[in-house]
Structure 1
Amino acid sequence: MDGFKKFLLRGNLVELAVAVVIGAAFGALVNALVSSFITPLIAAIGGKPDFGSLYFTVNGSKFAYGVFLNALISFLIIAAVVYFLVVRPIATLLDRLNRNQLATERDCPACLSEIPVKAARCKFCTTELTPVP
C-alpha cells in the first residue's frame, strides 16, 4: 500500500491529473462557445436557424453532419489555443535556453565517438585532433 501511495503522490502524476481536469473543463467551455455563438453565426449566414440540427438522409437513414461540424470547429479552436499558447512558447523558450549553452562535446572525425571539445587526442581511437578554442 505504501508503494501505491508514493505512486499516486508523485509530482508528474498529480500534474497530469490536474492537466486532464483543466483540459476537460476547457473543452466543455469551447464546446459551449461553439454551439452557442459560433455555429449560430455560421447558420445565420447559411440561412438555417440551428446549425447543430443540419442533416441529410439516405435511404431513410439520418446523417447529422451539423453535430460533426460543431465538434470539428471545437477541435480546431482547442488545437489552435494549445499550439499558440502552450507548444509555441515552450519551443521558443527551449530554443533560447539551448542557444545559450555551449557545446561540451564533439564527434571524432576518425571514429565518430563523442569527445570533449578541447581534447587534443581521441580517447577511443587516439587520433590527434586540433583543439577547438
Structure 2
Amino acid sequence: MIKGFKDFLMRGNVVDLAVAVVIGTAFTAIVTAFTNGLVKPLINAIGGSDAAKGLGYQIFAGNDATFLDFGGVINAVVNFVIIAAVVYFAIVLPVQKVQERRKRGKEAGPSEPTDVELLTEIRDLLRQQQGGASATRSDGRH
C-alpha cells in the first residue's frame, strides 16, 4: 500500500498539480491585492457621498451590518475575470495546443508491411517471373 502511494506521488501529474496549486494561490493573492488596492477604490469613488463605505446601499441607518456592498461584489467579479483569463491563456490554451500536436503524432499513417506480407509479395513476383506456372517440388509443396 505504501509503495502504491509512493508511486502515486511520484507521477509527474501529481507534482505538476501541486506546483499549480501553489502558484495559483500566490497569483490569487497578487490579483486580490491589485483589485483591493486599485480597482475597489475606483469603484467606491462612484459610490456617492459616503466614501468610507463605497458603492452600496445602507438598508437601516446606523446599522453597518445592513450595508449592501456592491463595490465588493464588483471587485470579486473583476478578480475572478482576471484570474480566469490568466488561467485560460497561460495554462488551458497551451495545454490544448500540446494535446493537439500529440494527437497528430499518434495518428496512424501508412503502416509498414509485415515480414509475412513482404515474403508473400516476393513469392508472388517470383511466380509471375516463372511464367505463371508454379513449380511443384518433389514433396508436393509449391
Q: Which amino acid aligns with 2:81?
A: L
Residues matched between the structures, number:
106
Q: Which residue of 2 aligns with 1:91?
A: 96
Q: Looking at secondary structure, tell me which structure has more strand per residue.
A: 1
Which of 60, 69, 75 is equivalent to 2:80? 75
Q: Which residue of 1 aligns with 2:56?
A: 55
Per the normalisation by structure 2, the TM-score is: 0.55
Alignment RMSD, CA only?
3.4
| Alpha-carbon distance, 1:36 to partner | 1.4
SS for the counterpart of 1:53 is coil
Instruction: Check 1:30–1:71 CA distance in 2 against 1; reply closer, same or farther (3 A cut).
Output: same
Per the normalisation by structure 1, the TM-score is: 0.58
Which ranges of structure 1 fall in alignment gaps of 5 or more residues?
A: 105-115, 119-133
Q: Looking at secondary structure, tell me which structure has more helix per residue.
A: 2
Provide the rounded CA distance (Å) in 2 between the counterparts of 1:83 and 1:47.
Answer: 32
| Alpha-carbon distance, 1:98 to partner | 1.4
**What is the aligned-residue identity percentage?**
43
